[in-house]
Chain A
């Protein structure tokens, strides 16, 4: 039995051990640099593969939700579709508008991908598997996350196209509006954990009472925070129903209208990588990072739990995309400022109250009420002001 436990713990640490083993062949002076390069390469390969897999899953999933087959020609069940897509985008002509600002136009997709990959530096993917354990990890994550806005605006501005510019302005308005609730929703966790280090936050959640884990999701403020965080993350990733910046039916493809070939693919990659990063942060903050959902499942390697949770969140993203239509600009802004912002602020208050009431049922009851009642009142109030009616068009009858 102990032999088995040892084997499982070795399997859990297999990547760490392999890395140490490989590095032991190098001179000590080179080790830190090579260790960093090795970890970065591993992260890029793992998440680029996940990106390829996700495009396939998304097309399959959306297809099935619309009673279609989805891709089914390339390889078994269309599994090699991402490879075909990659080859296609690599062989396509790379068109740059004559009036475009060439340098900025070229740099925008590169910066987007670089910025979206930077966030992974502080994500603990498994036990002892984090690139750098910054003591301000969460802050770093949101700081580099806002670099994506710069890349998006660079793309829209440098293209010299009305659609690009409109898309970029929408994107900026949306991303800045939703950055506020995104950060505010995550602050509740920082209040509880008392640390900005992602590793410390996960370690706090990786303990159990009975079989149940101490994930922040299983508290009233944690649950509300998680939902608010995911809504804001969807908007940050420009995904349906918040895909106004791209809005294929309105402004062609928004800020990347004037991109083709591999630069377009880079935008696509950057967007998905960014989505995985924010999902990874949601997992770290609320879903216990790499920790197992039950105490008797802790023998499963920790990185498998992380990726299982990530795939679940991706599935939810796809499900939402298959269900909801795109919001209007005013609805988008109303949701951010009239609903998300008050709810996140109230959630902060709830987390504070939770901290000061001693553990027990009272605490649960008070905090749940503090989340649910404002939610009902707020949604009622917002709805009350609206007039729902069947639209009639003057000239259509």
Chain B
């Protein structure tokens, strides 16, 4: 009969209406500024630059290789390479970005810059409170605004950051071992050279028979 379904529907809405006053589970709304839902770990919005240590300028991982700038689909990254070099975290002299700007009004949060970065220098941020009254200047982030510490990165993406830290520590250890081996080899060579010198002084005419030519 006509009207049966309508009555059923009216019953359903009435149940919702009164139910929402009785059981709090029905109201799934999060009252935003007061309440906030925890973000999932894979949350991302805009990129930031990671630095190690305490000084953001000293510890900046970015070496201004400009791969991200070239790969960025909406072209929102602008980098100027420095003229001089400074030692990076591994002690190697590297260029650094004299200017590093990201226009987050253009950025589409695709994460391609993060994927292509060979230095783990650029990562995705989770902060979404970015409203500003200046739609040009307020949304153009320079390198100082972009720079955030490795501790912050560890706090927002713990698993990912821990893996990268382990990888970097391994690289560091490898480098240390290499330099140690090199130092040892150098020391040995030096010692040998010294010994050879003394030998040569003792017997300047006859070379040792066992020496390879």
Contacts and interface: CB of A to CB of B under 8 A. Distances in A.
A396 interface: no
A294 interface: no
Contacts of B31: 69
Interface string A61-99: 100111111000000000000000000000000000000
B13 A67 contact: no
Interface string B25-37: 0111101000000
A361 interface: no
A379 B3 CA distance: 9
Nearest to B2: A379
Contacts of B2: 339, 375, 379, 382-383
B208 interface: no
A322 interface: yes
Contacts of A296: none
A319 interface: yes
Contact of B10 (A66, A323, A382): A323
Give the interface residue-count category, chain B.
Answer: 10 to 19
Interface in B91-124: none
Contacts, number: 44
A376 interface: yes
Contacts of A319: 10, 13-14, 17
A390 interface: no
At the interface, is chain A mostly helix, strand, loop or mixed?
A: helix
B18 to A, nearest CB: 8
A323 B29 CA distance: 20
A65 B9 CA distance: 11
Nearest to B8: A323
7 contacts: A64-B16, A64-B17, A67-B19, A68-B27, A69-B31, A323-B13, A380-B1
Interface of B: 1-3, 6, 9-10, 12-14, 16-17, 19-21, 26-29, 31
Given A68-B27, A322-B17, 14 more contacts: A64-B16, A66-B16, A67-B19, A68-B29, A319-B13, A319-B17, A323-B6, A323-B9, A323-B12, A323-B13, A324-B6, A376-B1, A379-B1, A380-B1
